[in-house]
Amino acid sequence: MSPLSPRLALVLLSLAPLGACALRAEPDAPAPAAVATAPALTLEDCIARALQKNFDLQAETLNTDNAKEALTVQKADYVPVFTVVGTRSGNDSYRTGVETDGSSLRGGVSQKIPTGATVTLGTGLDRSSNNPLVTSPNPAYLGDLSVSIKQPLLKSAGTLANLAAIKRAKLGVARAELDYKSQVLVVIRDVEAAYYQLHFAREQLAARQQSLSLAEQLHREAKIRNEVKVNTDLDVLSAEVGVANNRRSVLLAEQVVRNAEDVLLNLIGQFEFGAPVGPVVFADYVEEAPPVDVVYQRALERQPGYLAAQKAVQQYDLDTATAKNARRPTLDLGAAYGWNTYEDRSHDAIHSLSSNRGNDWQVDLTLSMPWGLKAENARYRTALNTLAQAKSRLRQQEQSILVQVRAAVLAVATGIESVKIAAQATELSRRQYEMEKARFDAGVSTAYRVLESQTDLEKARVSEVESRVNLRVAVADLQQIEGSSLARFKVAVQ
């Protein structure tokens, strides 16, 4: 074996420390990205904070409150209504010279009942006086007590027509609650995606920092080689450009990390962008992709948006029944019975109602009907069309859910395979690195080739992390569609 030339020996001796440094760099994991000192932030913590502070959820809560207030308004039609009327009057007849004056105080309470009838209980005391004396006694007091009822017999008759507004308002409350639940699922999915993307951004930054460190090492090696005239100035310039490009990549990766932190903080807080975000970690998805038919059935049973659409169909069904009832003529039956007294003192007029009293009664039947019922028939046909539209949209939504389920299940299945392939690629890059290192140790390779293979290994690891993140996001999308995120994170929607 021929002896080494003095120049080559000098180069090897100069590169020995750098080669040791390069080979001591542990390739099993990228250097961790620099994060603010803070306790680990779990995904469950993020979701809990989002449910308390997310602006979209707070706004959706107000919609639910308004729906409940609308129900209270509809129920108000069936609360008692109290009425008190006081009247003072007078008359001076020029021809007869008779002057009269009087006063009246009347009160009552009316109550609507679910059949459509209105029951009224009323009482009153009237006072009248005359000059000159026309009637006796003077002044005279008339007391009365009456009860009356007015019941529709055709239009607006029965509990179906009269309670439809309350039932519709109750369905409105249920829809608002389902809309809130749907928004909760959206927030959970968005928080999950933001959490996973932050993890990826930090892992990518760690890889870029590792690549920068290796580029700087290579630059130092090129300069030493150039000093002993082993390589050219072009090699040094190439190494400098490599350092500059890696520094730019680190700056861009740091920007991506900061943006990812802001996206997460925007979802889980209110103007808390200065708060440090601790380490984020998550477990790998180890299950298989679920069957499409199982997920589709779950979605039809749990997805709030679909259940809200069903409630809308029920509301339009009530509107159709109400419009059908409104096509009938108005036929109202009224009945009233009362007691009255006529005394010269107000006290006697009131108390004599229980003993010395007269009575009066009345029964009436009122019929009214617009000619041809054109408006009523038009409203009924409109209600039928609206109901048919709602049912058609519900069927369309079922098909849309099926498409979403098929795409989500396929994304999960693809993600599972992608993670496996990425892991294999990482293992291949690891073996290539170890082989290049062994070649370097044997003196048949260069440090540049070793650093290049390690860079490839870091890229493979980043790709594997990205695959894991994409799989987790696909699972989050699937669980949002089937509405299982609430059970997964033990969220009880009030």
Which residues neighbour 300 within 8 Å (Cβ) at sequence distance 6 or greater?
A: 306, 398, 401
**488 alpha carbon, distance to own chain's centre:** 17
φ, ψ dihedrals at 290, nearest 5°: -75, 160
Q: To 5 degrees, how large is the angle CA 221–CA 226–CA 229?
A: 135
Residues with Cβ within 8 Å of residue 358, at least 6 apart in sequence: 339, 340, 341, 342
pTM of structure = 0.79
Q: Which pLDDT value is given to residue 349?
A: 74
Q: Rounded to whole angstroms, how far apart are CA atoms 492 and 414?
A: 32
Sorted by where each begins, the domain ranges of the chain are: 6-70+165-316+385-488, 81-155+330-371
Peptide bond into 137 cis (omega under 30): yes
Question: What is the rounded CA–CA span in Å between residue 367 and residue 153?
Answer: 10
Residue whose C-alpha is closest to residue 348's, from 142, 149, 51? 142
For the chain, what is the HEC assignment?
Answer: CCCCCHHHHHHHHHHHHHHHHHHHCCCCCCCCCCCCCCCCCCHHHHHHHHHHHCHHHHHHHHHHHHHHHHHHHHHHHHCCEEEEEEEEEEEECCCCCCEEEEEEEEEEEEEECCCCCEEEEEEEEEEEEEECCCCCCCCEEEEEEEEEEEEECCCCCCHHHHCHHHHHHHHHHHHHHHHHHHHHHHHHHHHHHHHHHHHHHHHHHHHHHHHHHHHHHHHHHHHHHHHCCCCCHHHHHHHHHHHHHHHHHHHHHHHHHHHHHHHHHHHHCCCCCCCCCCCCCCCCCCCCCCCHHHHHHHHHHHCHHHHHHHHHHHHHHHHHHHHHHCCCCEEEEEEEEEEEEEECCHHHHHHHHHCCCEEEEEEEEEEECCHHHHHHHHHHHHHHHHHHHHHHHHHHHHHHHHHHHHHHHHHHHHHHHHHHHHHHHHHHHHHHHHHHHHHHHCCCCCHHHHHHHHHHHHHHHHHHHHHHHHHHHHHHHHHHHHCCHHHHCCCCCC
Q: At what angle do helices 6-24 and 164-227 cross, to 10 degrees?
A: 160
Per-residue pLDDT tens, the chain, 494 aa: give them.
344 343 433 333 344 433 433 333 444 444 444 444 678 888 999 999 999 988 888 888 999 999 999 999 999 999 999 999 999 888 776 666 677 788 889 999 999 999 999 999 999 888 887 765 555 677 788 888 899 999 999 999 999 999 999 999 999 999 999 999 999 999 999 999 999 999 999 999 998 898 888 888 878 877 887 787 766 777 778 778 888 888 998 999 999 999 999 999 999 888 888 788 888 888 888 889 999 999 999 999 999 999 999 999 999 999 999 999 999 999 999 999 988 887 777 777 777 777 767 888 999 999 998 898 899 999 999 999 999 999 999 999 999 999 999 999 999 999 999 999 999 999 999 899 889 878 876 767 776 777 788 788 888 989 999 999 999 999 999 999 999 988 888 888 76
pLDDT at 452: 83
Domain 6-70+165-316+385-488 sits in CATH at 1.20.1600.10
Question: Alpha carbon of 210 to those of 22, 31, 34: distances in Å?
Answer: 11, 6, 12
CA separation (Å) from 491 to 43, 48, 446?
A: 13, 9, 57
Phi, psi of 230 (to 5 degrees): -90, -35
Q: Which of 83, 155, 157 is nearest to 122 (CA)?
A: 83
